C-alpha cells in the first residue's frame, strides 16, 4: 500500500468518525454540553480529513504515490473493523452513558496515532499545514477556543 492510498483511507475513516460524533450529537440533542463536545470532535475529525485530502491532491498533482508502506494495510483494516462496530453501536445507543462510552472508545482508536505517523511520512508542507491545524485545534479557552477540552496526545509528534 502506497502512502497516497493510506492517506485516502485515513481521510475516509476520519470522515466516518466525524459522522459518528454528529450522529451522537443528533441523538442526544437534549444534552447541550455533550452536543457541543461531539460537534467539536466531529469538526476536528473533518479538519483532519481535509488535511489528508489536500495531501492526496498534492501527491496527485506531482504524479507521485509516496513511499510503499505495507504495515498500514493491517493497521487500517483493524481500525475499519472497529469503526464499523462503533457506527452500528451509535445508531442503537439508548442512553447517554452508552453514547459517552462510544465516544471514549472512538477517541481511543489508533486513528490519531496513524495520523501522526503520516505527518512524519509526508512532505514538509504537509507537516507545516498539520502543525498549523493542530495549533488551532489545541487553543486554550482564553485564546478563543470554544472551551471544550482537547484530547491529550498519546505520544509526542
In the chain, where are the structural domains located?
A: 3-143
Instruction: Report pTM.
Output: 0.74
pLDDT value of position 111? 73
pLDDT higher than threshold 70 for residue 127: no
pLDDT value of position 36? 92
pLDDT higher than threshold 50 for residue 144: no
Q: State which fold the 3-143 domain adopts.
A: Ferritin (1.20.1260)
Over residues 112-131, mean pLDDT: 68
pLDDT higher than threshold 60 for residue 153: no
pLDDT value of position 129? 60
Poorest-pLDDT segment among 11-20, 45-54, 88-97, 110-119:
110-119
Tell me the per-residue pLDDT of 11-24, one tens digit each, with 9 for 90 and over.
999 999 999 999 99
Instruction: List, in order, residues 6 or more apart from 118 with CB less than 8 Å away.
Output: 3, 6, 7, 10, 52, 55
Amino acid at each position: 500500500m502506497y502512502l497516497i492510498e493510506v492517506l485516502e483511507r485515513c481521510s475516509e475513516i476520519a470522515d466516518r468518525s466525524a459522522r459518528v460524533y454528529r450522529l451522537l450529537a443528533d441523538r442526544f440533542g437534549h444534552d447541550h454540553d455533550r452536543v457541543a463536545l461531539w460537534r467539536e470532535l466531529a469538526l476536528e475529525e473533518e479538519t483532519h480529513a481535509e488535511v489528508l485530502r489536500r495531501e492526496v491532491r498534492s501527491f496527485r498533482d506531482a504524479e507521485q504515490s509516496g513511499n510503499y508502506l505495507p504495515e498500514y494495510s493491517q493497521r487500517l483494516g483493524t481500525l475499519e473493523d472497529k469503526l464499523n462496530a462503533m457506527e452500528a453501536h451509535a445508531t442503537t445507543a439508548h442512553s447517554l452513558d452508552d453514547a459517552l462510552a462510544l465516544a471514549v472508545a472512538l477517541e481511543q482508536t489508533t486513528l490519531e496515532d496513524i495520523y501522526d505517523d503520516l505527518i512524519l511520512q509526508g512532505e514538509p508542507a504537509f507537516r507545516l499545514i498539520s502543525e498549523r491545524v493542530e495549533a488551532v485545534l489545541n487553543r486554550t479557552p482564553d485564546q478563543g477556543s470554544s472551551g471544550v477540552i482537547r484530547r491529550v496526545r498519546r505520544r509526542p509528534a
